[in-house]
Structure 1
Amino acid sequence: MRGHELRYDRAHGARIYDYILGGKDHYPLDREAGDAALEGWPSLRTSMRANRAFMHRVSRYLATERGVTQFLDVGTGIPTSPNLHEVVQEVRPEARVVYVDNDPIVLAHARALLTSTPDGATAYIHADLREPEEIIESEELRETLDLSKPIGFTLIAMLHFIEDEDEAHRVVRQMLEILPSGSYFALSTATADFAPEGMRNVQREYRARGEAMNLRKKSRVERFFDGLELVEPGVVQVHKWHPDALREMRVADEDVAMYGGLARLL
């Protein structure tokens, strides 16, 4: 199994994300990487916040508008309230959520992800997306979710950490294969389309510290949804996906470097 050993000798994407968003679960090398990335592109914090808000909106949309009560969130990251189960159980108390991450720090804080309503359930799997069999074959997945009924599969800010395009498509396909018809797939991933110089600076700082950063154009992001039914407005910058008018109206396009989309499995 990859990624299950707590390492202090290098920065980690989830902990950099936590640091930039004002969290407390990170180490000096993560802070150093975060500061360097922010120096290279000061809008990175705005972009990360927009991405977090996208996760909230897409999960709430699935629970309220599409009636989804089962969720699989891969690449959960360090728990920061409100987490996905808190969002969906607010409207669907019976919702069941399985979280997946490979960072031991997330494992150490997994109790924060297991605060389900009495009517619902949450579970945590310590596994790596690059080895989807770990997730697919886990007891936690099959004991928590009914794989014969629709599931909302969320992959938020994860795929840009997989450099190889073939590998990224392989793991997505393997995960989608276990989901029944009527399920939904939500994705967000980094791009340099709107702030090319700034995001190249961020990419350089991440790579210098051993962390991958694949910046995809819109057409490459759309390929992950091939064969699925995209929900309007399709693949867009995350702050433009079913925006909250009071919040997203103040976000400039050039300050958001993430594409997002949602699609239904036919």
Structure 2
Amino acid sequence: MSQGDERGYGGNEPGAHPDDAYSTLGGTRQTRTRMHRSGDDDGYGRRPARTSRSLVMVVGVVVLLIAAIAFANQGGGDTSGDSTEKKPNTAGAGPTAATGTKPVQGKNGTIAAGFAHDEQGAQSAAANYAVALGSAEMFDKTKRDGILQTTHDPAVVATLQADMAKAYSPGFLTNVGLNEDGSTPGGLTFVSRTIPVGTKVIAQGADSATVEVWCTGLVGMAGQGSTKPVTATWFTITEKLKWISGDWKIESSSQAEGPTPVNGDNRASTADEIAGAVEGYGGFTYAR
């Protein structure tokens, strides 16, 4: 299966690249992934017996951790006189640190909604929308139309829905291993997940924001007899957001490959293990 044989989405404007196999909407750009096998040996050898000194160190770390948790839980009182309180848009000590602002509480169907009208809210919206637009539900027309309506500017929804109906043609669906109507063949599990790793605002206005979302993704068919195994890929989605009717909505989006880390030496799981993981582990609501 080559990328040129399939249709997808991921251009600068809705439906701009109909020949892209896996993209921002309904799956990730498929890339070749090499897995290093080490045979039956796990590469680590026999674990040495724990000495009494290492046991003392472990106990000491556990005690310190319990003390830290107890100290943190003491901060539930009045903080009006605390001069060190963080501002909502302060990212903290590192780029992956939480801001401390309460995450979004609302939702529209299964998609988070009611994001804050600030930089943090725009990042949270972009991350959650990336998850929805990269989900397996995008391959079902009814669900796809609902996702597009929830995540996008109403001014572009009708055109985008029509473009996606053409892109997700019966031929495209069969090329990715699904039935012509988008349903999954019996005994198999279709996987399409986008997992945000981080977000970054590259432009900000009073009622607009452009946010980059660095993601990893899974796409493929899991199960015995699958000829399209689940693979991992890395990509960055750029979403142009607009504040509309009390929430952030997407005006347009684009996707670029990477940044991609070096693959580890993890053993590739079986098709049944992947299917079980996808069915057993749920997703998250993302907030900056």
Band the TM-score falls in, shorter-chain normalisation: under 0.3
> If you compute each CA radius of gyration, which structure gives the higher value, 1 or 2?
2
| TM-score, normalised by the number of residues in structure 1 | 0.27
Greater fraction strand: 2
| TM-score, normalised by the number of residues in structure 2 | 0.25
Greater fraction helix: 1
